[in-house]
Structure 1
């Protein structure tokens, strides 16, 4: 039986295993035939959505990996807008709204409110938090 999933990632892009574990879980569930609808990045997890991280050549580029997963499997990548703004992860729309000179939300990521997460909890078969 195929299930639909949303993942909630609370861990930063680097500095904890949480986000990498979520990414590995995402690939495993897709491989098993399930559908990953969205990944909601919350708290420090919003740092997964910055276009300004530049890991060393011999390190895994997790932001790029999330982008590729999203493109290949039509997975929506959402950063909590309030958590992102507090941590300096800003979309073009938010930069304009708040009078900021720049934005740094990586391509393929979208800013969303907690309502999006609440809806996923009601609609998806499973919501798994990392």
Structure 2
């Protein structure tokens, strides 16, 4: 079997579903076996993973930091649906200025983008795997 290029689509909320943790474990296993992850797209409730202000208890895994670490080590794009993020209060500096807000909370390493990035990834990757809950 040849190595595949993958896109992961995470729709479930961290700490309320297993989607982000299952996707993280899947990503680590895929990378360990030689596959490439082109992009991780956070959509629907999954965008809340990109909240730089979330602070889980110390005895729980910090999913945001784990995704940041994986992305940095393997040059994986962490794309966040801008419409879903704004609706849930996740905003970067550019959008904060656009809407006249003084603060922003998009975690470092994540980027707000449109659904076109998901479609582009699906068109160019060998496989897209979606994690809902």
**Residue number in structure 2 paired with 1:73:** 74
**Residue number in structure 1 paired with 2:97:** 96
Aligned pair 1:4/2:5, yes or no? Answer: yes
CA–CA separation in structure 2 for the residues paired with 1:69 and 1:80:
19
CA–CA separation in structure 2 for the residues paired with 1:24 and 1:45:
16
**Residue number in structure 2 paired with 1:31:** 32
Where 1:120 maps in the other structure, the secondary structure is helix
Which runs of at least 4 in structure 1 moved beyond 4 Å after TM superposition?
Answer: none
**Which residues of structure 1 form unaligned runs of 5+?**
none
Post-superposition CA distance 1:54-82 (Å, at most 9, x none): 01111100000000000000000011000
Where 2:89 maps in the other structure, the secondary structure is coil
What is the aligned-residue RMSD (CA, Å)?
0.6
CA–CA separation in structure 2 for the residues paired with 1:77 and 1:92:
17
Aligned residues: 130
How far did 1:13 drift?
1.7
**Residue number in structure 1 paired with 2:51:** 50
CA–CA separation in structure 2 for the residues paired with 1:96 and 1:17:
34
CA–CA separation in structure 2 for the residues paired with 1:12 and 1:100:
25
Post-superposition CA distance 1:16-37 (Å, at most 9, x none): 1111101110101001100011
Task: Give the TM-score, by structure 1 length.
Answer: 0.98
**Residue number in structure 2 paired with 1:127:** 128
